[in-house]
């Protein structure tokens, strides 16, 4: 009896275990159910079609050994996911499907930032399929094909992330068994994801695959896999060694015409020294790769953690992630000595020149009065806690450091929004260039119970060298001292000179109660999410912190900021919220009047709630004097200036804010708004469309564009843009957008459409709070001035903070009315 090979179509006697021509595994007779019917999907999976009544096909992503993969929209959970159809010849075997089901159950336990999340195994009309997380990006194999050899630093960075994902999988007793460059995705932010844990299996579930069955891709398979033996985590180490080899050389170590010949090489041949292919590979990296590729698994690295540690050690010696000559190469002491010796044997003039050079070098690099590197970006720390539930610490501690370091004169510290946008980014030169800094402070945090372990390191952007690092195995009670020690060490390493009055403690927290501080950091975490639910959660946490320590001034500031955040969202009357914010911030200032954020918050309250513009400006200026490097303080002051119609000053302040926080979308949009305020409409539109290209899902960009169209009376474009914005705002408050549509139709002379949107606005207000100023604007555009001023008076009676926008163009239809001029006088804007 003979078997026909499904790959090479040759006949083979049934005594062979592998097909002779191509080396494909022969199925054993007990593995084949002769009555099984191979079904193919009865529906054509084309773009727009729906599979299994749930998955709407977006596009085919590719084909693999197990079948086709599609990007689909899951109409049930309303998210994009990946769907893999299993080949019929694989799916027909019940034992195979049972194995996949068991192993997917294990794979679902792996939840890690470097592992693609597996969802489920399903069946539709005889077609088996697997669903998983959709990762947008490019697989590593494609990158290598495009670029050839990858830079050493980049290769190490990718391998380190793979190690982290494998370590998490191995911890759950799961081995990948088909690790290859095709299965490594790199998303658009540079984050690595390991794909296809669908054929992984438990280390404890011995024999579930069946003796002698080979699963994997020959070019990446360990010798024990080739022989069909039991595998463990060291098999994945071998595969990762091949991936590393492929990254730094541009090719895999073993190639052949058939899978069989490749498998033989994996078992018996020694790989070529990768340094013979790429001379830029350091010796320690070469040795590490070859150790991963040892034939005997006892001679390899024994765990992903061990390999990760070795990679990190090697990485510290790599000058840059791109292996390029540093931009600035300060003279070493050896170079100075050589130059001095040469000059000394020449004419006396050169001796004098050498002395001058030495003096300059000593002044530039040795004396502590100046800094060779006077800028640092503080990145969010990585949460390495067992439960991955300490993100509030991993972001809160860096934010505290940013606030403290930004107060030091002569030290440039980018704002939180910009620095935190690089979470997970590995390319330090990219970060440095985007943020305009010389150094990065990065770290990790592990917290369990009261135990706290923080690791930090300060890195030179130009050459990738570690300037300073420290590990703090402490408890939560030590967090205050740890933060200050980090800040002190950074300042010392960067040789930043202190003014005498600022020497001593840098990080000043107004509590010594670690429980209160933990609650405070949690409050900051939720406050930064900018939703009604999260602001309310933040308020609860800040109040609980104050129950632990009533003298905690910064918790009062956080409480005030959260009340103000709710007022910005316009979820209820702003007066009540701002009154509570005022009480909280004044309590903070009683306890500590040196807090710049407190003075900035008070400035906002005095402007929006009390309409005391002069005192508000005094508070803003005091806040800037206390911390000129605070992006949030300067942005608030710029907004204040715009409200007063001081548009040139507002534009200047926004530009300065962008220097501090260059990637903050809110500040970027504010600059576009400032351009429009100054009448630079074409420039503003060009600028905002550039922003939209890089932020296509940011609905507020569309709002700014729509406002400019409406102000310049391009009503049709304004309406179209507003509709595009609303599509992106599913589930959000759209009262402003509905009101603006009513306004623009009214200004356009289309009264019927305007009144329809007004009816929608009235209906909306019956369910959710809508500011009276919105109705005033719409009625004014419709020409119903009496109704407009009725709503405007109601807004005044309610001390509505939105009245501070009275100089904006949408009040133009009622601006000439004496009643409006009287209103401006009452709120202090009659200037």
Q: Looking at the predicted structure, is the pLDDT value of residue 792 above 50?
A: yes
Give phi and psi for 23, each to the nearest 5.
80, 10
Strands 439-448 vs 382-383: parallel, antiparallel or unpaired? parallel
Provide the 3-class DSSP secondary structure of residue 412: strand
pLDDT per position as a tens digit, 199-226: 544 444 433 344 344 456 889 999 998 8
Give the closest residue to 160 by CA, choosing from 278, 272, 282, 247: 247
Note the pLDDT of residue 11. 57
Flag whether pLDDT at 370 surpasses 70. Answer: no
pLDDT of residue 621: 96
pLDDT on residue 570? 83
Instruction: Give the rounded distance of the alpha carbon of 106 from its chain centre.
Output: 28
pTM score:
0.56
pLDDT at 602: 97
Q: How confident is the model over 3-52, as pLDDT tens digits? A: 555 445 555 554 444 444 454 454 443 333 333 333 444 445 787 788 88
- Rounded CA-CA distance 357/351 in Å is 10
The CATH superfamily holding the domain 137-316 is: Transferase(Phosphotransferase) domain 1 (1.10.510.10)
Is 778:743 a contact under the CB 8 Å cutoff?
Answer: yes
pLDDT of residue 216: 63
% of the chain with per-residue pLDDT over 70: 84
Dihedral angle of Cα 513, 514, 515, 517, to the nearest 10 degrees: 90
Average pLDDT over residues 142-148: 82
Evaluated on CA atoms 247, 251, 254, 260, the torsion sign reads positive
Both structure tokens of 566: 């709710």
Tokens of 712: 């310049």
Instruction: Kindly report each contact of residues 682-690 with a partner whose C-beta sits within 8 Å and lies 24 or more positions away, as own/partner.
Output: 684/708
Q: Does domain 50-133 have CATH number 3.30.1490.20?
A: no
Given a cut of 50, is residue 233 above it in pLDDT? yes
From the CB of residue 285, how many other CB atoms can be counted at a distance below 10 Å?
24
Residue 246 tokens, joined: 């492929």
CA contacts within 13 A on the Cβ side of 285: 29
Q: Which of 71-75, 132-136, 139-143, 357-361 has the lowest mean pLDDT?
A: 357-361
Three-state DSSP at 2 gives strand
- At residue 680, the 3 state secondary structure works out as coil
Work out the average pLDDT over 748-761: 95
CA dist., res. 253 & res. 267, Å (int): 12
pLDDT tens-digit readout, 595-652: 999 999 999 999 999 999 999 999 999 999 999 999 999 999 999 999 999 999 999 9
Q: Please give the torsion angle defined by the CA atoms of residues 48, 51, 57 and 61, in that order, rounded to the nearest 10 degrees.
A: -150
DSSP letter, residue 291: H
Q: How far apart are CA 563 and CA 263, in angstroms?
A: 66
pLDDT, residue 373, reads 53
- Alpha helices, H only, 32-126: 88-91, 94-107
Phi, psi values for residue 218, rounded to 5°: -50, -40
Q: ∠ CA 608-414-154 to the nearest 5 degrees?
A: 140
DSSP bridge pairs for 115: 194
Reported as a single tens digit per residue, the pLDDT across 260-310 is 888 889 998 999 999 999 988 998 999 999 999 999 999 999 999 899 888
Is the model more confident about 507 or about 599? 599
Question: 478-487, 584-593, 788-797: which range is least confident on average?
Answer: 478-487
- What mean pLDDT value characterizes the chain? 83
Tens digits of residue pLDDT in 593-611 = 999 999 999 999 999 999 9
Report the interhelical angle of 304-316 vs 283-292 (nearest 10°): 170
Q: Domain segments of the chain: what residues? A: 1-32, 50-133, 137-316, 376-494, 733-831
List beta partners, residue 68. 63
* pLDDT surpasses 80 at 371: no
E strand or H helix at 473: strand 466-475
Q: Across residues 357-370, what is the average pLDDT?
A: 42
How long a stretch of residues is the chain? Answer: 831
Query: What is the C-alpha to C-alpha distance for residues 647 and 674, in angstroms, rounded to an integer?
Result: 7
Given a contact cutoff of 8 angstroms between Cβ atoms, the answer to whether 608 and 574 are in contact is yes
So what's the pLDDT on residue 830?
Answer: 86
Give me the percent of the chain exceeding a pLDDT of 90.
49
Residue position matching structure tokens 């006892």: 298
pLDDT digits (tens, 9 = 90+) for 715-745: 999 999 999 999 999 878 899 999 999 999 9
CA nearest neighbour of 297 among 236, 358, 388? 236
Q: How many CA atoms lie within 13 A of 481 on its CB side?
A: 8
User: Which pLDDT does position 198 carry in this prediction?
Assistant: 53
**pLDDT at position 213:** 43
**For residue 391, is pLDDT > 50?**
yes
Average pLDDT for 438-451: 89
What's the CA gap between 466 and 615, in Å, rounded?
Answer: 47
Residue of 342 and 816 predicted with greater confidence: 816
CATH code of domain 376-494: 3.40.50.10610
Residue partners of 294: CB distance under 8 A and separation at least 6: 238, 300
What would the DSSP string read from start to end of 605-642? Answer: HHHHTS--HHHHHHHHHHHHHH-TT-HHHHHHHHHHHH
Taking CA atoms, 382 is separated from 168, 177, 415, 452, 701, in Å, by 15, 28, 18, 13, 30
Query: Which residue has tokens 């933060």?
Result: 483
């Amino acid at each position: 009896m003979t078997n026909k090979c499904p790959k090479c179509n040759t006949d083979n006697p049934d005594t062979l275990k592998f097909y002779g021509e191509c080396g494909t595994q022969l199925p054993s007779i007990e593995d084949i159910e002769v009555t099984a019917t191979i079904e193919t999907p009865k529906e054509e999976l084309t773009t727009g079609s729906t599979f299994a009544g749930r998955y709407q096909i977006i596009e085919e992503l590719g084909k693999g050994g197990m079948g086709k993969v599609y990007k689909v929209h899951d109409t049930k959970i309303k998210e994009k996911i990946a769907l893999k159809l299993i080949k019929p010849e694989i799916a027909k075997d019940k034992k195979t499907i049972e194995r996949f089901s068991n192993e997917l159950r294990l794979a679902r336990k792996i939840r890690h930032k470097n592992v693609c999340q597996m969802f489920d195994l399903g069946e539709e009309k005889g077609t088996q399929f697997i669903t998983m997380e959709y990762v947008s990006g490019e697989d590593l194999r494609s990158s290598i094909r495009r670029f050839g050899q990858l830079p050493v630093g980049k290769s190490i960075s990718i391998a380190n992330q793979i190690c982290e994902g494998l370590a998490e999988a191995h911890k759950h007793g799961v081995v990948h068994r088909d690790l290859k460059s095709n299965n490594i995705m790199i998303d658009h932010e540079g984050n690595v994801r390991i794909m296809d844990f669908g054929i992984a299996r438990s280390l404890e579930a011995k024999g579930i695959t069946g003796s002698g069955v080979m699963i994997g891709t020959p070019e990446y398979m360990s010798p024990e896999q080739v022989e069909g033996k039991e595998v463990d985590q060291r098999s994945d180490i071998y595969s990762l060694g091949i991936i590393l080899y492929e990254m730094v050389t541009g090719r895999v170590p073993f190639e052949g015409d058939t899978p069989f010949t490749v498998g033989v090489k994996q078992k018996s041949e020694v790989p070529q020294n990768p340094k013979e292919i790429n001379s830029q590979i350091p010796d320690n990296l070469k040795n590490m790769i070859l150790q991963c590729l040892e034939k005997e698994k006892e001679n390899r690295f024994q765990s992903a953690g061990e390999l990760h540690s070795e990679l990190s050690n090697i990485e510290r010696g790599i000058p840059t992630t791109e292996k390029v000559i540093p931009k600035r190469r300060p003279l070493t002491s050896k170079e100075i000595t050589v130059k001095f010796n040469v000059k000394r044997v020449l004419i006396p003039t050169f001796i004098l020149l050498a002395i001058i050079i030495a003096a300059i070098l000593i002044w530039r690099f040795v004396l502590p009065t100046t800094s060779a590197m006077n800028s640092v970006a503080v990145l969010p720390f990585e949460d390495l806690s067992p439960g991955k539930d300490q993100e509030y610490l991993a972001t809160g501690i860096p934010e505290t450091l940013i606030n403290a370091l930004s107060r030091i004169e002569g030290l440039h510290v980018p704002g939180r929004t910009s620095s935190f946008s690089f979470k997970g980014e590995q390319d330090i030169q990219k970060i440095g260039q985007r943020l305009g800094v010389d150094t990065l402070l990065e770290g990790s945090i592990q917290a369990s119970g009261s135990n706290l372990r923080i690791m930090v390191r300060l890195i030179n952007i130009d050459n990738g060298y570690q300037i300073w690092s420290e590990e703090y195995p402490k408890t939560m009670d030590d967090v205050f001292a740890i933060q200050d020690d980090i800040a002190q060490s950074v300042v010392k390493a960067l040789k930043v000179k202190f003014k005498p009055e600022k020497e001593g403690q840098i990080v000043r927290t107004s509590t010594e109660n670690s429980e209160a501080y933990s609650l405070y950091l949690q409050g900051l975490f939720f406050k930064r999410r900018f939703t009604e639910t999260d602001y309310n959660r933040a308020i609860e946490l800040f109040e609980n912190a104050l129950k632990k320590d009533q003298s905690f001034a910064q918790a009062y500031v956080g409480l005030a900021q959260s009340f103000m955040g709710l007022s910005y969202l316009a979820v209820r009357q702003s007066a009540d919220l701002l009154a509570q914010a005022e009480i909280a911030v004044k309590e903070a200032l009683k306890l500590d009047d040196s807090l710049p954020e407190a003075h900035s918050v008070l400035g906002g309250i005095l402007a929006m709630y009390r309409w005391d513009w002069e005192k508000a400006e005094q508070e803003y200026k005091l806040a800037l004097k206390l911390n000129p490097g605070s992006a949030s303080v300067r942005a608030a002051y710029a907004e204040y200036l715009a409200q007063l119609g001081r548009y040139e000053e507002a534009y200047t302040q926004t530009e300065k804010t962008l220097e501090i926080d260059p990637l903050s979308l809110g500040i970027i949009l504010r600059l576009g708004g400032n351009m429009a305020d100054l009448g630079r409409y074409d420039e503003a539109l060009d600028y905002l469309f550039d922003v939209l290209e890089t932020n296509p899902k940011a609905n507020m960009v569309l709002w700014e564009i729509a406002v400019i169209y409406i102000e310049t009376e391009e009503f049709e474009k304004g309406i179209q843009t507003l509709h595009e914005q609303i599509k992106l705002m599913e589930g959000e408050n759209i009262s402003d957008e509905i009101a603006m549509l009513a306004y623009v139709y009214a200004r356009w002379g289309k009264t019927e459409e305007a009144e329809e949107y007004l009816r929608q606005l009235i209906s909306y207000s019956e369910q959710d709070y809508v500011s009276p100023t919105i109705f005033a604007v719409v009625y004014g555009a419709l020409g119903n001035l009496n109704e407009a001023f009725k709503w405007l008076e109601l807004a005044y009676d309610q001390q509505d903070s939105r009245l501070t926008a009275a100089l904006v163009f949408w009040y133009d239809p009622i601006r000439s009315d004496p009643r409006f001029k009287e209103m401006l006088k009452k709120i202090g804007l009659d200037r």
